A = this chain, B = another copy of it.
Amino acid sequence: MKWVNLMTNRVRRTMPLLPISIVMQLTELTARQIRYYEEHDLISPARTEGNKRMFSLNDVDTLLEIKDYLDQGLNIAGIKKIYDLRETPENEKAEPKNLSDAELRRLLHEELKHQARPLERGGFRQSDLSRFFN
């Protein structure tokens, strides 16, 4: 019974546990979309010996983020830029940070300039996840 708590509370979010079919359900993305995002280095799911993708909970979170960013009108390049900035090690952050932040602001501004945020987006919303919980 101890295992229960261990598994649900402490299991590493980076453990590759989920096949693509489950991730599709959890994120409401198509396999095509998920593979496309991987192709553009937004995610890097693990692979089995037989080359099948296995996703971690972190991967699922990232995919939900990507979906949200896309709904907000960002494109893949913009999302990737954000992730690249995020993954920049702390020591390197000090100097190039301001530069990159300015760049990011410009980029986001550019993105949103001519795009009215579609409020009627049929996309994902927090409450949509409710069917996975109780």
Are B65 and A3 within 8 A (Cβ)? yes
Residue of B nearest to A64 (CB): B3
Q: Find chain B residues with CB under 8 A from A7 CB.
A: 13, 26, 57, 60-61
Residue-wise interface mask of A (8-23) relative to B, using a CB-CB cutoff of 8 A (1 in contact, 0 not): 1111110101110110
Report the minimal beta-carbon distance from A94 to chain B, rounded to whole angstroms: 24
Residue-wise interface mask of A (106-126) relative to B, using a CB-CB cutoff of 8 A (1 in contact, 0 not): 000000000000000000001
**Top-3 shortest CB links A-B:** A4-B61, A3-B64, A3-B61
Measuring CB to CB, which residues of chain A are less than 8 angstroms from any residue of chain B?
A: 1-4, 6-13, 15, 17-19, 21-22, 26, 48, 54, 57-58, 60-61, 64-65, 126, 129, 132-134
